[in-house]
Amino acid sequence: MGNDGMLLTFEGIEGAGKTTQAALLARALRASGCVVTVTREPGGGGKVGSTLRRLLKDPEVWRSLELAEIYLYAAARAHHLESLILPAIARGEIVICDRYLDSTRAYQGSGRGRSAELIEELHLLPPLDTRPLRTLLLDLAPRVGLERAAEREIGEEAGYDDESYSFFEKVRRGFEVIAEREPERVRLVEAAGEPLAVHRRIVGLLLDLFPRLVPVDSLGD
């Protein structure tokens, strides 16, 4: 298709379907001729990313952090950008990232009430000044998202699942405020319904960037 390299991100609360939708979109984009790299935060970018992910998802660790949590997410993101995202964009690839800066704004800023100014200031400095061209914000009631995540995680480490619904309501509202502030970049997607129905909504929201994009269930492969 010959698009220039770019960063697309998925955002939303836990269980909203970001990972599922990132995989479906990658399939659709590849079928249209794009080279696609799918990655996630925290955790993208090899050993440093996975080590920081383990640390940031450990309840004993994150409960003990204050402003340091913002710096740790920023450090993980800076490494992710340098080691994976920016080189892929430079090669002309479409990078799809499952969570990015808006998660820091919504979780650390709106959810935990930590300094929004610090988050913004850090993300003015290279390489953290890299912004997605388009962000798909999957919007879902926290009760539904946490039920989905709990079903999947039976027997696995649950991470944030003991957070209260009110915390996730604050996070959801934080995402909504970002979408209201930046409507051109951030597109709100109704995340209820079958995965393929959500995927078709997302394809519709990307046709201005990828006019030949076709939902995976219409590919006929």
Binder among 5, 7, 41, 142 for ligand Z5A (CB under 6 A):
41
Q: How far is the CB of 106 from ligand Z5A (least distance, A)?
A: 8
Query: Can you tell me the distance from the alpha carbon of 196 to that of 168, in angstroms, rounded to the nearest whole number?
Result: 25
- Specify burial of residue 4 (Cβ count, 10 A radius: 0-12, 13-18, 19+): exposed
Distances from the Cα of 124 to the Cα of 97, 120, 156, angstroms: 19, 7, 37
Instruction: Give residues 179-198 in contact with ligand Z5A (rule: CB under 6 A).
Output: 193-195, 198
Query: Can you tell me the distance from the alpha carbon of 54 to that of 49, in angstroms, rounded to the nearest whole number?
Result: 9
Binder among 25, 29, 34, 42 for ligand Z5A (CB under 6 A):
42
72 contacts 43 by C-beta, under 8 angstroms: no
Binder among 9, 37, 39, 103 for ligand Z5A (CB under 6 A):
103
Binder among 5, 9, 17, 89 for ligand Z5A (CB under 6 A):
17
Q: Please give the span between the terminal C-alpha atoms of the chain, in angstroms, as a whole number.
A: 19
- 54 makes contact with ligand Z5A (CB under 6 A): no
- 159 makes contact with ligand Z5A (CB under 6 A): yes
Q: Which residues bind ligand Z5A (CB under 6 A)?
A: 12, 14-20, 41-42, 73, 99, 103-104, 107-108, 148-149, 152, 159-160, 193-195, 198
